[in-house]
Structure 1
Amino acid sequence: MNSLIARLLGRRLPTSDALVDQIEAQKVALNDAKARAAASADARRHALDAGDNGALRAADEARDGARRDAEIAEHAIKVLEAALTGARETEERDAFQAEVAEARAAGDDLSEKIRVEYPRLATALADLLAGIEEHNSARRRLAARGRELGETIEIEEVEAFRRKPRLGRHYAGLGYKDLIDAIEHLPGLHAGDDSIRFVGFR
């Protein structure tokens, strides 16, 4: 660690917030030094007008001290600003790694939840799809029979709910086959029951 930063902020790795605060403090010190240098210039003119050698010497000493303080502050600001850039890069990387670790942990939790709940949900979904196909088959059969008998029947297709406005999340273009395929191809998750695969539901 730079000795100047260690002197100002201690031996611990400084945070970007601490560096920003110290930069602002050094800017205040720099402005104060510049104001003292300007004041010493006025005092020097008055001493020259008065022919006061002692006052002239004091004004020169004040001017030189102010200039040194300004130089110290300017140098500190440059060093601190360079350190601030590095600190922000480090903090950004650390925050990213923390976010990655959080996402991994969340994925592990979700995978475990899916592993526990998947068999029951897959079975329930398979039963639902079987019921849909059974209903739609009966609808087609009765419609065909009705035509033979000269009867007009109206039995709503149960899949029609996907074509009606619904509250909640909507997956555009997702048919039953897509859903089953998606479940079947979840990494590491296999129900081992081919009966849940239905083709042709669109």
Structure 2
Amino acid sequence: MNSKIVLVMSWLVVVALGIGGAAASDPLQDFCVADLTGSAKVNGFACIDPKQAQANHFSFSGLHVVKSTNNAVGSTVSPVFVGQLPGLNTLGISMARIDFAPKGVVPPHTHPCASEIITVLEGTLYVGFITSNPENRLISKTLQKGDVFVFPEGLVHFVQNVGSGSAVSISALSNQNPGVILVANSVFGSTPSIANDLLAKAFQVDKTVIDQLQAKF
């Protein structure tokens, strides 16, 4: 067979596989309202009977409510994930409101399943993320009301209120259940605890410092 024909046929196969792969990821129904009480879970929630879907499965109220920030970090996250809004199931989106006390922070953390875009509604926020090894480069910016910033999926990032008053932000995330790994909580507050001699070596500090940190988490 002519080599040019073989090349064209190979290219068409690759294109067809790509199209088939894309089609396979498309929704096969209008929606899949999460059955939050069901025991069946395969990388997400099973669906309720579509005929049982109601408007309340697709709506959520309360993001206008100012939440208390009287806690150790001075911030409170109000999520609207699939657990709060079952209609998000399989749609690949979610959001959250974050209230900040003066100097309040959202500590360094990652979302293993989602990118995040944050919009400042009130106040002044300092935000940033760290690129992966080996660069470990900090990319950061101070945001004012109306400003937007993106945190790439899986990268460690943080938010701090650097204004003189309270602050509020809204985040949109590219997953119905983005997950969150708080770095300090995970490292120093795991159950069971990570051996203090291992952490002491990893962080290049004395074991007594690790003991003090683990006691806080």
Q: TM-score, normalised by structure 1?
A: 0.27
TM-score (norm 2): 0.25
Structure showing greater radius of gyration is 1
Identify the structure with the greater strand proportion.
2
